C-alpha cells in the first residue's frame, strides 16, 4: 500500500486531538483511540510484508523530499528486522492502552497521559522504520520526552527524581549518538544509513571512533553495566504500562540501534581488522557482566518491580552477547552475512519485549489489587488472582528460557550461533559457558518471583470482617485483555516462531 509507512508515522500525531478531546469525555474512549491507531498501524506494516518477501532488495521503502540543503530525504523503510520489531512494539502499545483503562482510573490529567502515550508510539516506531539518520535521531529523542512526563506525573513514590535520572542518563547518551551521526555526515555527506555504509568503507580509521561513540550512546539506552544506574529507579517508579514499554521496547531500541548503525552501517569499515575483532570481544565481555549483575541483584531484591528491572539488565546482557557474535569478516562489497546468532538476537529482542511487557503488567496488576510492592509481604495470591497468576507464570518461565515459551527459542538460536562461531574463534568458548550459567540464575530469580508472590503462604491473613471493597480479587476485564494479548504472543512465539524468523532471515545481510 502506497504511503503505508508515512501513515504509520503520521496517524498517532494526527490522532492527538482526538485522543485529548475524547479523553475529556471518557478515558476509555482515549484508550480505545490509542489502541485503534496502533492496530491500524500494525495492519499498515503488515501490508509491506509481501514486498519484503518478494522484492530483490528484501525491503520496502518510501522516500519524500525533506531538507534539500543537506541532500536529506524523509526516508522510511522496513525490512524483515525492522518490520518485526515495529509490529511487536505496536502490540505492546495496544496492550498498554487496554491495561491503562482500569489501572489509571481515578488518576489526574488522563487525557494528557493518553496523548503522551500516542506521542511515545511515534518515537518508538519511528526509530525502527527510518534509514535517515536525522529522522532517526529525532525519533530517538522523541522517545525521551513523553516517557519523562509519564514517569514523573503518574509514577509512584519518587517519580520525578527517577524520571530526571532517566532523562539525564539517556540524554547524555544521545549526545554521543549525535556526535557519531555528525561525524558520519561530515565524512560522507550522507544522512542515509545505507549510503553511509558504503562511504565509510574508505575511512576505517575514523570509523573506529564513530562506532565507539554510537555504541556508547546506545549502550546507555540499553542499560548495559556500568551505564545501567538509571534503569532500576525508572522502572520501579514508572506506572506499570510505562515500565512495560521501557523494558519491552525503549531499552531494546538501543540494541536495534547497535545492530543497525554501529554494526550495520559502520562496522563493515573495520571488519577484518584487529580493532573490529577487539570491539566484538568487548561487547561479549560487557554482555556477560550485565547478564550476571542483573541476575544476581534480581535474586536478592524484594521490590516486585525492581526484580523485573534487574532482569531487564540481565537480558540486555544476553542481547549484547548475541550482537558480539556479529560476523567479523566482510563479504564482497563490504556486506556481512546474517548468521544464526544474529537471527536469534533479533528474535530475542521480540521475545523479551512481549515476555517482559507481560511480566511488568502482571506485577502492575498485583500492585493495583494488593497495594503492596514488597514480595516479603505477599504470598497466596494464586487462589485470589488466578488469571494474573497464570500470566505471571507464563512470562516468568519465558524470561527463564523455559520451553515452550518465547525466550527459549531465541536463546537457543543465540547459543547455537555461538557454538558455530567457537569452532573458528576459541575466544567465545568462555563467554558462552558463562552465558549458559547465567540462564540458571534467570530460572532461579523467575521461580523465586512466582513462588514468593503467588504460591507461598500469605504473610498475613485478612480479618474476617474485612470490607468487601478491600478484598483482593483478580483484575478487571480490560486489564485481563491486555494480559491475554501478550500471553498469546508469548506462547505463539514459543510454539510457532516461523513467521518472524522467516521474516528476519529475509534480510540475508546487514
Backbone angles phi, psi at 488, to 5 degrees: -60, -45
Assess contact for 241 and 96: CB atoms under 8 A: yes
* pTM across the whole model: 0.92
Residue 380 pLDDT greater than 90, yes or no? no
Distance, in Å, from the CA atom of 255 to the CA atom of 415, rounded to the nearest integer, reads 18
Which residues are CB-neighbours of 335 under 8 A, at least 6 positions away?
268, 509, 510
Residue 8 has pLDDT above 50, yes or no: yes
Euclidean distance between CA atoms 170 and 178, whole angstroms = 12
Average pLDDT, the chain: 89
pLDDT above 50 (res 493): yes
Residue 462 clears pLDDT 90, i.e. is over it: no
Distance from C-alpha of 382 to C-alpha of 389, rounded to nearest angstrom: 5
Q: Which of 116, 84, 150 is nearest to 343 (CA)?
A: 84
Q: What is the mean pLDDT of residues 458-476?
A: 62
**Residue range 230-282, pLDDT digits in tens:** 999 888 888 999 989 988 888 999 999 999 999 988 998 888 888 999 999 99
**Distance between CA atoms of residues 216 and 218, nearest Å:** 6
Specify whether the backbone of 147 is left (phi greater than 0), alpha (psi in -120 to 50) or beta. Answer: alpha
Query: CA 502, CA 337: separation in Å to the nearest integer?
Result: 15
> DSSP character for 105?
T
Q: How far are the Cα atoms of 49, 150, 392 from residue 123, in angstroms, in the given order?
A: 22, 14, 28
What gap in Å lies between CA 258 and CA 222, rounded to an integer?
10
Least confident of 1-5, 135-139, 361-365: 1-5
- Residue 347 neighbours by CB distance under 10 Å: 28
Work out the end-to-end distance of the chain between its first and last CA atoms, rounded to an integer number of angstroms: 25
**Per-domain residue ranges for the chain?**
4-460+472-505
Would you say residue 506 has pLDDT above 50? Answer: yes
Q: Answer yes or no: is pLDDT of 466 > 60.
A: no
Q: Where are the alpha helices (DSSP H) in 204-339?
A: 204-222, 230-237, 240-245, 251-257, 274-300, 304-324
How confident is the model over 214-244, as pLDDT tens digits?
999 999 999 899 988 899 988 888 899 998 9
Q: Residue 334: which pLDDT band, with cuts at 50, 70 and 90? A: very low
Task: List the single range of 151-160, 190-199, 336-345, 445-454 with lowest mean pLDDT.
Answer: 336-345
Residue 470 pLDDT > 80: no
Output the nine-digit C-alpha cell for 290. 550485565
Average pLDDT over residues 424-441: 92
Does the pLDDT of residue 363 top 70, yes or no? yes
Q: Return the percentage of the chain with pLDDT > 70, whole number.
A: 95
- CA 321 vs. chain centroid, Å, equals 16
Pairwise CA distance, residues 172 & 14, whole Å: 30
Amino acid at each position: 500500500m502506497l504511503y503505508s509507512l508515512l501513515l504509520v508515522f503520521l496517524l498517532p500525531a494526527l490522532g492527538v486531538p482526538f485522543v485529548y478531546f475524547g479523553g475529556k469525555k471518557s478515558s476509555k474512549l482515549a484508550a480505545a483511540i490509542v489502541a485503534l491507531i496502533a492496530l491500524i498501524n500494525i495492519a499498515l506494516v503488515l501490508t509491506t510484508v509481501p514486498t519484503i518477501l518478494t522484492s530483490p532488495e528484501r525491503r520496502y521503502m518510501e522516500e519524500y523530499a525533506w531538507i534539500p540543503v543537506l541532500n536529506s530525504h524523509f526516508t522510511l523503510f522496513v525490512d524483515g528486522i525492522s518490520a518485526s520489531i515495529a509490529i511487536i512494539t505496536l502490540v505492546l502499545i495496544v496492550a498498554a492502552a487496554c491495561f491503562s483503562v482500569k489501572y489509571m482510573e481515578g488518576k489526574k490529567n488522563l487525557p494528557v497521559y493518553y496523548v503522551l502515550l500516542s506521542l511515545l508510539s511515534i518515537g518508538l516506531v519511528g526509530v525502527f522504520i527510518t534509514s535517515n539518520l536525522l529522522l532517526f535521531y529525532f525519533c530517538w529523542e522523541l522517545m525521551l520526552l513523553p516517557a519523562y512526563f509519564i514517569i514523573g506525573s503518574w509514577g509512584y513514590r519518587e517519580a520525578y527524581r527517577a524520571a530526571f535520572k532517566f532523562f539525564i542518563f539517556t540524554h547524555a547518551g544521545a549526545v554521543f549518538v549525535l556526535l557519531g551521526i555528525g561525524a558520519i555526515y561530515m565524512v560522507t555527506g550522507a544522512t542515509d544509513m545505507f549510503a553511509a555504509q558504503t562511504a565509510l568503507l574508505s575511512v576505517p580509521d575514523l570509523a573506529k571512533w564513530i562506532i565507539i561513540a554510537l555504541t556508547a550512546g546506545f549502550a546507555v539506552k540499553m542499560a548495559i553495566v556500568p551505564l545501567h544506574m538509571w534503569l532500576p529507579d525508572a522502572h520501579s517508579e514508572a506506572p506499570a504500562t510505562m515500565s512495560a514499554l521501557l523494558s519491552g521496547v525503549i531499552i531494546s531500541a538501543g540494541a536495534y540501534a547497535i545492530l543497525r548503525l554501529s554494526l550495520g552501517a559502520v562496522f563493515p569499515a573495520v571488519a577484518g581488522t584487529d580493532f573490529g575483532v577487539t570491539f566484538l570481544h568487548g561487547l561479549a565481555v560487557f554482555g556477560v557482566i550485565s547478564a550476571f549483575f542483573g541476575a544476581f541483584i534480581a535474586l536478592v531484591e524484594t521490590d516486585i518491580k525492581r526484580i523485573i528491572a534487574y532482569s531487564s539488565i540481565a537480558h540486555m546482557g544476553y542481547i549484547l552477547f548475541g550482537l558480539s557474535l556479529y560476523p567479523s569478516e566482510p563479504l564482497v562489497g563490504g556486506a556481512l552475512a546474517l548468521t544464526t546468532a544474529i537471527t536469534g538476537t533479533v528474535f530475542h529482542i521480540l521475545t523479551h519485549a512481549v515476555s517482559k511487557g507481560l511480566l511488568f503488567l502482571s506485577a502492575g496488576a498485583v500492585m493495583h489489587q494488593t497495594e503492596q510492592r514488597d514480595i516479603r509481604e505477599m504470598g497466596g495470591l494464586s487462589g485470589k488472582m488466578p488469571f494474573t497468576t497464570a500470566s505471571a507464570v507464563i512470562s516468568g518461565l519465558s524470561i527463564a528460557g523455559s520451553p515452550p515459551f518465547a525466550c527459549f527459542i531465541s536463546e537457543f538460536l543465540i547459543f547455537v550461533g555461538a557454538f558455530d562461531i567457537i569452532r573458528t574463534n576459541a575466544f567465545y568458548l568462555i563467554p558462552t559457558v558463562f552465558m549458559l550459567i547465567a540462564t540458571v540464575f534467570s530460572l532461579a530469580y523467575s521461580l523465586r518471583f512466582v513462588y514468593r508472590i503467588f504460591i507461598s503462604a500469605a504473610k498475613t491473613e485478612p480479618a474476617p470482617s474485612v470490607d468487601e471493597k478491600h478484598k483482593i480479587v483478580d483484575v478487571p476485564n480490560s486489564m485481563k485483555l491486555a494480559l491475554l494479548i501478550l500471553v498469546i504472543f508469548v506462547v505463539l512465539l514459543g510454539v510457532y516462531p516461523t513467521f518472524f524468523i522467516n521474516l528476519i532471515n529475509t534480510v540475508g545481510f546487514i
